[in-house]
Structure 1
């Protein structure tokens, strides 16, 4: 919906592609849905859940055996984001490198975006 012709709205690293494909296969899911919800100390939190189908107006990004659907309300905030999966001794998980984020909390669990032009938060 917010993609430019010939450009994927999000990119997926090979590590994230492998993890998403494993999750989808393990649960027999159609895709991993990513979105945003209000919450956390910075204002917004990423959401992820496995889904059986894409809903109307969801953006679908396919790469290899991985498929990601982006919830309509999150598309404008996630455009240009790189989805990665990092594995470490103490912490493993998906990482979102999002150029639209203006602030994040210390733990990295929540993010803030610039208010949209004409929104109440922008003073309209």
Structure 2
């Protein structure tokens, strides 16, 4: 039997950053909620927040001691994506490499399918 592919890959850099965010917000058990909402210059954008618990229909992606919650509707657009943290001169940002996106805005936060 082939290993099951995760719907979303969470890199080590993203895991480390989520840990930092949990500490900064004094929420040591929090997880990251990743969703897609309408908006941005390309029509759809990513939204990330800390969350205490998964919703009943959420898909939970666990990597080390970190969990990422994704609702089923967002997962249809995120399937096969990679979540990572990239450092830059301004501190850094989460980057999502989404194979389903046909076009992404230069900011990297907005896209079209």
Q: Is the 8 A contact 1:24 1:32 kept in 2?
A: no
Q: Report the Cα distance in structure 2 between the residues aligned to 1:104 and 1:6, rounded to whole angstroms.
A: 28
In the alignment, is residue 65 of structure 1 matched against residue 61 of structure 2? no
Hey, what does 1:110 align to over in structure 2?
110
Hey, what does 1:14 align to over in structure 2?
12
Aligned length: 110
* TM superposition shift of 1:95: 0.2
Structure 1 length as normaliser, TM-score?
0.81
Structure 1 residues without counterparts, runs of 5 or longer? 114-124
* TM superposition shift of 1:29: 4.0
* TM superposition shift of 1:7: 1.3
* SS of aligned partner of 2:107: coil
Q: Is the 8 A contact 1:21 1:67 kept in 2?
A: no
4+ residue runs over 3 A deviation: none
Structure 2 length as normaliser, TM-score?
0.88
Q: Report the Cα distance in structure 2 between the residues aligned to 1:29 and 1:11, rounded to whole angstroms.
A: 20
Kindly provide the CA deviation profile for residues 61-106 of structure 1, in whole angstroms up to 9, marking residues without a partner as x.
Answer: 1111111010221011101001000111135110000000001123
Larger radius of gyration: 1
